[in-house]
């Protein structure tokens, strides 16, 4: 039997299998394509079976290759995590993150434990407000903000979510206010976020109800407060759909009407130009982007 492949060969196979490309594996590992190919052949010779189907323009995994890739991806993930823990033991990398209150409460905080479990060396310091961000003056590594468009050439902006608006209420809201069509909202209490004052008007116009007073009702400092008020049966809130998915799944909120309207505000992850390449920032960015649902952006 051939000698057990060295770690470098296993790394090369794992990377090539993940990317389904020897070229991309070489770029990731700073190796030539031919070096990756030699490493993969070394692993195949050890097993005595091919791990890739080699086509003219692409490579695909054999069943044995698929199985071995899954095992190696998990194993190398554990090795990488253990290495980071030892390397950073006794030392924390501070990462200052700024977001909107509602985004932080509804989406980011429920996922932060997962990030901390796999990146214990990063000390996340999360702050929240609706104030504009000035990376030149604020000691921030990154921020999550909304805007219709361009952030400027120096700021790295990764698109996270488009914002789609839906009306939501408590499970008994439709019966309490007899809500059968959008026009019935004139009889219900509307719940507003002061940070997103135009959302009800935007949805009502798209639903064909420009005559309803979109300004009346109860107003709250943040959308998170409006969502909580809706759960308590105080009225109907206009919600950003991706921020109330957990409540909809649990049944503490229900969609009142099927109409969905797109807001002009798109969510972006902004990296401070001063901290580009900072290890904690890059690890957090990579994790955040992998947390996005498949249809985000």
Q: Tens digit of pLDDT for each residue in 50-75? A: 999 988 777 899 999 999 998 998 88
Instruction: Decide: helix, strand or coil at residue 5.
Output: coil
What is the helix (H) or strand (E) element at residue 189, kind and residue range?
none
- Report the C-alpha gap between 166 and 288 in whole angstroms: 25
**pTM of the predicted protein model:** 0.68
What does the pLDDT read at residue 99?
A: 96
297: pLDDT strictly greater than 50: no
Structural domains in the chain, CATH included, are 7-87 (1.10.10.10), 93-156+267-290 (3.40.190.10), 163-265 (3.40.190.10)
Instruction: For residue 180, give both structure tokens.
Output: 């059968």
Which parts of the chain are beta strand (E)?
52-54, 59-61, 93-99, 122-128, 142-147, 156-169, 190-193, 218-220, 236-240, 254-255, 261-271
How many angstroms separate the Cα of 99 from the Cα of each of 70, 142, 229, 295? 35, 9, 22, 22
Give the CA radius of gyration of the chain.
Answer: 25
Are 97 and 140 spatial neighbours (Cβ–Cβ below 8 Å)?
Answer: yes
pLDDT tens readout for residues 10-48: 999 999 998 888 998 998 899 999 999 999 999 999 999
> Count H helices, E strands: the chain?
11, 11
Range with the largest mean pLDDT of 62-66, 85-89, 293-297: 62-66
Please provide the distance, in angstroms rounded to a whole number, between the alpha carbons at the two ends of the chain: 50
Question: How does residue 3 score in pLDDT terms, banded at 50, 70 and 90?
Answer: confident
pLDDT tens readout for residues 177-234: 999 999 999 999 999 999 999 999 999 999 999 999 999 999 999 999 999 999 999 9
What does the pLDDT read at residue 4?
A: 83
DSSP state of 50: -
pLDDT tens readout for residues 119-171: 888 999 999 988 888 888 888 999 999 985 567 668 899 999 999 999 999 99
- Report the C-alpha gap between 76 and 79 in whole angstroms: 5
In degrees to the nearest 10, what's the CA dihedral of 171, 175, 178, 180? 60
Are 199 and 262 spatial neighbours (Cβ–Cβ below 8 Å)?
Answer: no
Are 161 and 297 spatial neighbours (Cβ–Cβ below 8 Å)?
Answer: yes
Q: Which has the closest alpha carbon to 218: 210, 209, 227, 208?
A: 227
Ordered DSSP codes for 245-265: HHHHHHTSSEES-S--EEEEE
């Amino acid at each position: 039997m051939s000698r057990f492949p060295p770690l470098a060969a296993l790394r090369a196979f794992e990377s090539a299998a993940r990317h389904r490309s020897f070229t991309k594996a070489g770029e990731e590992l700073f190796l030539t394509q031919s070096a990756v190919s030699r490493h993969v052949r070394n692993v195949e010779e050890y097993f005595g079976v091919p791990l890739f189907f080699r086509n003219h323009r692409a490579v695909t995994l054999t069943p044995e290759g698929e199985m071995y890739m899954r095992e190696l991806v998990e194993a190398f993930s554990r090795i990488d995590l253990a290495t980071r823990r030892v390397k950073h033991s006794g030392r924390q990398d501070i990462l200052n993150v700024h977001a909107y209150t509602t985004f932080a409460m509804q989406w980011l905080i429920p996922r932060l434990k997962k990030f901390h479990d796999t990146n214990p060396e990063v000390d996340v310091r999360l702050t929240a407000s609706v104030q504009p961000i000035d990376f030149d003056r604020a000691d921030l590594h990154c921020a999550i903000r909304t805007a219709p468009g361009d952030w400027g050439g120096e700021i790295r902006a990764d698109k996270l979510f488009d914002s789609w608006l839906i009306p939501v209420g408590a499970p008994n809201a439709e019966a309490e206010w007899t809500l059968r069509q959008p026009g019935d909202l004139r009889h219900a209490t509307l719940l507003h976020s002061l940070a997103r004052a135009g959302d009800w008007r935007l949805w009502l116009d798209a639903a064909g109800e420009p005559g309803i007073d979109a300004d009346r009702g109860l107003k709250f400092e943040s959308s998170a407060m409006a969502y909580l008020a809706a759960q308590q049966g105080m009225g109907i809130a206009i919600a950003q759909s991706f921020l109330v998915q957990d409540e909809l799944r649990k049944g503490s909120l229900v969609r009142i009407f099927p109409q969905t309207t797109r807001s002009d505000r798109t969510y972006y992850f902004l990296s401070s130009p001063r901290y580009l390449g900072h290890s904690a920032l890059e690890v957090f960015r990579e994790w955040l982007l992998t947390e996005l649902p498949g249809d985000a952006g």
